Amino acid sequence: METVNWKVEGMTCSNCALSISKYLEKEGMQNVKVNPIDGDVQFEIIEAAESNKEKLAKGIASLGYKVQSPENTAHTQGAGSQPMNKYLRYLLLCLPFTLVLMLHMIPGLHIHWLMNPWVQLALCIPVFLIGMSFFGRSAWKSLQSGVPNMNVLIALGGSAAFLYSLIGTLMGQGEQYLFYETSATIFTLVFLGYYLEDVSVGSTQSALNKLAKSQKVMANMIAFDDQHHEVIFPIENIHLKHGDLILIKTGEQVPADCKILWGEASVSEAIVTGESLPLEKKPKDIIIGGSLVVEGTVKALVVAEANQSVLANIINLVKKAQGDKPPVQLMADKISAVFVPAVLVIALATFAINYFILGEFTPSLMRSIAVLVIACPCAMGLATPAAIAVGLGRAARNGVLFRNAKSLEAFKTIQQVVFDKTGTLTTGNFVVDGYHFEKVDEAEFKQLVFSMEKFSNHPIAKCIANEWKTNQPIRWAKIEEVKGRGMRALTREGDEYWAGSYEIASRLTTDSSHNVYITRNGQLIGWINVVDEVRPEAGEVIDYLRKKKVKTILLSGDRKDKCLQLGNTLGMDEIMYEKSPEQKLGILEQLNQTAPTAMVGDGINDAPALAKASIGISISEASQVALQTADVVLMNHGLKNLPLALGLGRHTLLTIKQNLFWAFAYNIVAIPVAAVGLLTPAFGALVMGLSDVVLAINSVRLFVKKVI
């Protein structure tokens, strides 16, 4: 199974996306996602032969759309000057003819030659041909696919006005048959509406486009000539490979994910994590592609190519989420699928009823044309994608990644949030808080402990090993890490040492309050206490949730006294301690049955619980493990953006509901108004185009709207 990502041109509304989606599903493709906002199409194909892809591309072309080749897509994205917007091009071609045709509509202005029907026909023909080349072709393709789109309505309305006028001209019926300006105005104003919609909807992608632009930068590549002299030359970062050496200087953007080999630098990762303060980086540290070197110069080794970098993964994740449809959109999709046929029926009924009441053909026809051009299924189709594009874009810009759009909607019902302790409410960075030794001196005690703990990956062991590092460690005859107990070491003389949990000392002392116990040949020779620093933002986040009447629960595998101390300090509603991963999973199941529950964890140890929660939220670096574990990833290494994630989820859903309300209300009001003759077809075409702009503007408000 291979995932295919295409960019498809020509989509103008959700019906277009629906046509492509139905075609791909009919051809056996799985997990099809079509985003009408930016033309991204993603699906899974079983037999990924090029011939199969070509067949699918031709099938999409037969529907009236065009699959861009990867080369063209890359060229378009990397080009300095973008081609003129196609709707603007059509608009500029049609506008001069339409304006001349409209001159005779100005009160008091009598241009006798313009009243000649053959002159009006000559002026209208270019606009009609341009309009039908776009709307007519698109309409015909959509009818063939079985999912008629909005262009069916536009093509019918414009054609009806043109043909009615043409018949009148050929029959010499005079001015009462001249509606060429209506046909021209319909096509021209819809092109204007499409252009405004394209621009305004495109602005919903600005945050994601900002991230995408950060992917393409120049790099200073380091190579060596025949004399092994260092040579530095510029290269596009898309050509960098794993293992290449690069030089990054002050003020330059990091061209790829890489590891520092030489030098130190202050690096701002704001573009990726949302964290504004620069981080100090030293040799062996990883720096993320797209981040900025504020000060310093480093030589680094590329560890990920451009298409596999953290930034690329972020962009792909957001694009994938934008293609998702939350449950609230399902009703709109069902209505959109039958909207065009319903409007055609309403237009016919409008003509029949008006002709029966008025007894006049011309006014009845104009009213039915007005119904055709003012109806707007686009609004219903764009209501969700536009809001989601902005919500996900703002989230990504601030270091919050949603794996799918469903998580946005799920936030509205969250009534309780479960927190892991270590690495979530605390930093996970331990420091030695106190220690005691007996039967050995202090230097020997520290040497023993360091020599054992340096072999462990446990955070507490690492902390002790870093603080008590010595250049003369003991060489053990054997050393092993016993799961759940600690480190066991044997000397060449046969002495046995342990550094571990209370379990190894339970027969030697009743004091279980220490973190690490040290024994020699079954005798206790000391203990060590460490403390885990509480995240500075943890208290504010818990207070925020309390004000929002969201229950907070601490769920940890740590000891009772430490959990109670932390939970009470932060003012959490419920504290659960000494729980295994299996127990955590069971607790999450029970909590989910009582109320929708979010779980915040590190994305690795808490993976089962994160998966079981209504929403799993991971606090993690932008690693593949974190991206694959949780529904939401907070990339700023902390909790501070949790309120933003909750707020964006709720306000994005609110914006979607506002958009859907406007879309339905617009059509419910506009169609009857047009049917009774209160709107001309030309004005209806203008209002129809602006209806989508209203949705886009309302969605763009999410960029600046206060959500916390």
> How many whole angstroms separate alpha carbon 584 and alpha carbon 473?
39
Beta strands 597-601 and 574-576 are unpaired
Only one residue has tokens 């209501």, namely 383
Strand order in the sheet with 279-281: 279-281, 265-268, 292-296
DSSP assigned state of 549? T
Q: Is 244 a catalytic residue?
A: no
Residue type, 439: K
Q: Residue 352 half-sphere exposure, CB side, CA atoms within 13 Å? A: 6
Q: What is the CA radius of gyration of the chain?
A: 33
Q: At what angle are helices 150-170 and 117-131 packed, to 10 degrees?
A: 160
Contact of 37 with 405, CB cutoff 8 Å: no
Contacts of 537-542 with CB under 8 Å at 24 or more apart are 537/638, 537/639, 537/640, 538/425, 538/426, 538/570, 538/639, 539/569, 539/570, 539/571, 540/640, 541/639, 541/640, 541/642, 541/643, 542/570, 542/571, 542/572
Is the CB of residue 258 less than 8 Å from the CB of residue 302? yes
Which tokens belong to 40? 């991204």
d(CA 393, CA 652): 11
Closest alpha carbon to 287 in 306, 268, 259: 259
Q: Are 281 and 300 in contact (CB under 8 A)?
A: no
Catalytic residue from among 198, 244, 420, 606? 420
Which residues partner with 135 through β-bridges? none
- Taking the C-alpha atoms of residue 136 and residue 155, their distance in angstroms, rounded to an integer, is 5
CA distances from 526 to 97, 117, 387, 430 (A): 94, 106, 60, 19
User: Side chain identity at 399, as an amino acid letter?
Assistant: G
The C-alpha atoms of residue 181 and residue 98 are separated, in whole angstroms, by: 7
C-alpha closest to that of 331 among 34, 660, 659: 660
Q: Is 456 helix (H, G, I), strand (E, B) or coil?
A: coil
Query: Which two structure tokens, joined as six digits, stand for 10?
Result: 């020509």
- Distance from C-alpha of 600 to C-alpha of 641, rounded to nearest angstrom: 12
For residues 284 and 392, what is the distance between their CA atoms, to the nearest angstrom?
Answer: 33
CA-nearest of 8, 10, 12, 7 to 379 is 12
Q: How many CA atoms lie within 13 A of 227 on its CB side?
A: 2
Amino acid occupying residue 266: S
Give the single-character DSSP code of 535: P
| The two three-digit tokens of residue 560, written as one number | 């009772």
Name residue 589's amino acid.
E
Quote the DSSP letter at residue 521. Answer: T
370 with 684: CB under 8 angstroms?
yes
Joined tokens for residue 645: 């994630």
Q: What are phi and psi of 196, to 5 degrees?
A: -60, -40
**3-state SS, residue 92:** helix
* Backbone φ, ψ for residue 35 (5° rounding): -105, 105
* Residues recognised as catalytic: 420
